[in-house]
Amino acid sequence: SQDTDSVQSNAPKMLKRVARQARPTVAIIGRPNVGKSTLVNRLCDAGRGGAIAVDEVGVTRDRVYQRAEWCGRVFDVVDTGGLLFDDEESDQFLAEIREQASLALRESCAVVVVVDGRTGIVRTDEDIAAFLRKWPSQIETVLAVNKCESPEREPEMVADFWPLGLGEPLPCSAIHGYGVAEVLDAVLPAVDNAIELRRQQIEQLDAQEAIPRINVALLGRPNVGKSSLMNRFLGPGEQRSIVSDVAGTTRDAVDAELDVDGAIFRFVDTAGVRRKARVKDGTETQMVGRALKAAKLADVVLLVVDATAEITDQDAMLAQRIADDGRACVVLANKWDIYEGKDEGSTREVLKVLRETLTAVSWAEVVFCSAETGQRCLKVYDAVKRARESHHHRVSTATLNEVIRDAMLWQPPPATAAGKNAGKVYFVSQTGIAPPTFVCMCNDPKAFPKNYRRFLERKLRESMPFTGTPVRFVFRARR
């Protein structure tokens, strides 16, 4: 049990999809009537030479985003307005702001605090400043003193706001457009940082997306522990984001991706496995039908059996389906934690039974594991990787022909029923992968009975890494 899942830096991480097109966001905050919406319209106008058109207004939840462009940078401006209350109700305001403004701030790289230069500091301004000073993460703060239209009064209007402790107060007039450029200039470094960060993330995630997925499905009789294993593999745990153009979450509910030390496992149709555990909908036949369909889509099927129960015809039938579908396979002998009277020979004994009953996947690795304790669950990942490699393995033609020639010398094919031509193979070549497929050009396919074909496969497996994958032999008469 020393190889139980533990918290470690290279522990598998579940991949979460995030939208690729997200732009940096700048939040606008301030009490009512200081001119936030006027300023937002101004900010979003500025780059377009003062054109009034406000295109592309997106409403997400309660917040309104508008697109701004400044010095070639594109970002969203979100007005947290409409969420604030009057000065007298500042307690209520604080409660509300935590809920709504926090959502907006959390996704923002900068925040513009708008105050009214004509009224000077009021209590709510101080509340907002206190709230922002306590903000847990790095967020650039710009203080815009709005309604500064009279140049002669400006210096004193601005000076009034230094005590807020939010940095240099920048005078502006949203209505007239004065000072707006300076406010935009002040948020620019934060926007640039956010854009650069995003670029790096996307680059990283693009590289990740380029990694071919290993499609994995769980198959097994009811109650062998499929959903328990799935939960063991997929979470809880740290989630790592992945960028995707796929909108929505429909796909996520069905397929889950796991980053296992750089190899990405896609668990096909997790909903099918997980849902069953929650609500017993659909008949068992429907379940099996759905599971078999998922297995067909997989590169590697995890055939789960209950190591503490008898291995049945149903288990054998599922094994046969995996082999017939040409899928790679790892057998999980689950519930090993509660195997009765376990001793040194137990693994060997159970393995023997599994080999005798699951003959169709005799080439599959068997991992004795426990979804309950996590015992050897990490070993499953390596077995899956090996099976996937075998499934895609290519053998050189020279090696292939040498192996088959040696095998036939060692044990020639039996004479045919007709008693004439003994089987001869002229040439073997690998024509495909997943599963590896070999075409044997011969004198007469009928001269190679089933058991002799099995013998050739066994010899091939003895000299090559085909653990975990079925292989196909096709015999063709050379004309």
Interacting residue ranges for ligand GDP, rule: CB under 6 A = 30, 32-38, 81, 146-147, 149, 173-175, 220, 222-228, 277, 334-335, 337-338, 370-372
In the complex, the smallest distance separating the C-beta of residue 9 from ligand GDP, rounded to whole angstroms, is: 26
Residue 261 sits at φ, ψ, to 5 deg, of 55, 45
Q: Inter-axis angle of helices 270-278 and 226-234, to 10 degrees?
A: 120
**Cα separation values, 242 from 7, 206, 259, 389, Å:** 21, 8, 10, 25
State the virtual CA torsion across 128, 131, 137, 141 in degrees, nearest 10: 20
Q: Which is nearer to ligand GDP, 33 or 314 (CB)?
A: 33
In the complex, the smallest distance separating the C-beta of residue 75 from ligand GDP, rounded to whole angstroms, is: 19
Q: Which is nearer to ligand GDP, 259 or 365 (CB)?
A: 365
The whole-angstrom separation of Cα 401 and Cα 248 is 51
Q: Which is nearer to ligand GDP, 76 or 457 (CB)?
A: 76
Tokens of 427: 């040439």
**Pair 448, 442: CB distance under 8 Å:** yes
Start-to-end CA distance of the chain, whole Å, equals: 59
Question: At CA 352, angle to CA 461 and CA 368, rounded to 5?
Answer: 90
In the complex, the smallest distance separating the C-beta of residue 92 from ligand GDP, rounded to whole angstroms, is: 17
Residue 5, judged by CB atoms within 10 A of its CB (0-12, 13-18, 19+), counts as middle
Which residues, listed in sequence order, are joined to residue 74 by a DSSP beta bridge? 69
Q: Which is nearer to ligand GDP, 13 or 376 (CB)?
A: 376
**Pair 39, 122: CB distance under 8 Å:** no
The whole-angstrom separation of Cα 62 and Cα 100 is 8
The whole-angstrom separation of Cα 313 and Cα 310 is 10
Query: Pairing between strand 425-432 and 437-442?
Result: antiparallel
Q: Which is nearer to ligand GDP, 194 or 224 (CB)?
A: 224
The whole-angstrom separation of Cα 186 and Cα 49 is 19
In the complex, the smallest distance separating the C-beta of residue 198 from ligand GDP, rounded to whole angstroms, is: 28
In the complex, the smallest distance separating the C-beta of residue 358 from ligand GDP, rounded to whole angstroms, is: 17
Q: Which is nearer to ligand GDP, 33 or 411 (CB)?
A: 33
In the complex, the smallest distance separating the C-beta of residue 30 from ligand GDP, rounded to whole angstroms, is: 6
In the complex, the smallest distance separating the C-beta of residue 3 from ligand GDP, rounded to whole angstroms, is: 15
The whole-angstrom separation of Cα 49 and Cα 59 is 25
Nearest Cα to Cα of residue 194 among 123, 292, 115, 111: 111
**Pair 302, 227: CB distance under 8 Å:** no
Q: Which is nearer to ligand GDP, 218 or 447 (CB)?
A: 218
In the complex, the smallest distance separating the C-beta of residue 118 from ligand GDP, rounded to whole angstroms, is: 7
Neighbours of 460 (CB within 10 A): 21
In the complex, the smallest distance separating the C-beta of residue 19 from ligand GDP, rounded to whole angstroms, is: 28
| Beta-sheet strand order (sheet of 437-442) | 425-432, 437-442, 472-477
% helix, strand, coil for the chain, step of 5: 40, 25, 35
Q: Which is nearer to ligand GDP, 17 or 226 (CB)?
A: 226
133 Cβ contact partners less than 8 Å away, ≥ 6 residues apart: 165
In the complex, the smallest distance separating the C-beta of residue 121 from ligand GDP, rounded to whole angstroms, is: 16
In the complex, the smallest distance separating the C-beta of residue 32 from ligand GDP, rounded to whole angstroms, is: 4
In the complex, the smallest distance separating the C-beta of residue 346 from ligand GDP, rounded to whole angstroms, is: 15
Helix (H, G, I), strand (E, B) or coil at 391: helix
**Pair 22, 245: CB distance under 8 Å:** no
Q: Which is nearer to ligand GDP, 103 or 307 (CB)?
A: 307
Q: Which is nearer to ligand GDP, 143 or 408 (CB)?
A: 143
The whole-angstrom separation of Cα 314 and Cα 106 is 52
Q: Which is nearer to ligand GDP, 354 or 460 (CB)?
A: 354
Q: Which is nearer to ligand GDP, 127 or 457 (CB)?
A: 127
